[in-house]
Chain A
Amino acid sequence: SYALTQPPSVSVSPGQTASITCSGDNLGNRYTYWYQQKTGQSPILVIYEDTKRPSGIPERFSGSISGNTATLTISGTQAMDEADYYCQSYDSTSVFGTGTKVTVL
């Protein structure tokens, strides 16, 4: 079955840049979506169609794609960005990545 792989954890200092990768077969030919989930809450969409940011999502969140690896970048990371992040793609069915815990030290 199709799988999306993310690093389990990423640590970042406040004000620095955090990068979270998501890899999968043929991902470059599909769109990638990114969600932020804080403890006890529902996921929130932060990036859609690889690079687009929904209304209300801060500009410090950006997405990119290179080959079969998508990347979510948080520039100028703030303490409030500490959360779990999941990528997701679609090809007849939806698949989520394994998730990355971002810790702001």
Chain B
Amino acid sequence: QVQLQQSGPGLVKPSQTLSLTCVISGDSVSSTSAAWNWIRQSPSGGLEWLGRTYYRTKWNSDYAVSVRSRITIDPDTSKNQVSLQLKSVTPEDTAVYFCAKGDYYFPFWGQGSPVTVSS
């Protein structure tokens, strides 16, 4: 059974970089049949897919248009984890951030990481 354990700071200052980590157990970040996603949920409740990374014959990443200029999702094969970096954050980036496994849908989710952007 796949388990995803998230970690990272819960408070980030405006204009700084939000960084979160998702440690994977029960699967490999390098699996050629999996994709590793970041999804966030705003305080109003809406879910927004942010992006994903996955390995086939090489590493690939896809990002949502809304954050494409600010986001990086990277695998770390030595630690079997995936990271999220979101640059130049504003209060509108305040949300609960989830990592999730899945190509087209998400059967496995991390526990969620609440992040507040505030000075």
A residues adjacent to B (C-beta < 8 A):
1, 31, 33, 35, 42-45, 48, 54, 84, 86, 88, 90, 92-96, 98-99
Given contacts A33-B105, A88-B106, A94-B104, 12 further A-B contacts (CB under 8 A): A42-B111, A43-B47, A43-B98, A45-B105, A86-B47, A88-B47, A90-B104, A90-B105, A94-B39, A94-B106, A95-B49, A96-B47
The answer on a CB contact under 8 Å between B45 and A96 is no
Interface status of B27 (Cβ within 8 A of chain A): no
Among A42, A88, A92, A93, point to the contact of B105 (Cβ < 8 A): A88
* Also in contact, A99 and B104, with CB within 8 A (given A42-B110, A42-B111, A93-B62): no
Q: How far is the CA of A86 from the CA of B112 in the complex (A)?
A: 17
Interface status of B46 (Cβ within 8 A of chain A): yes
B residues adjacent to A (C-beta < 8 A):
37, 39, 45-49, 62, 64-65, 98, 104-107, 109-112
Nearest-CB residue, chain A, relative to B66: A1
Ranked 3 nearest A-B pairs via Cβ? A96-B47, A94-B49, A42-B109
The answer on a CB contact under 8 Å between B45 and A99 is yes
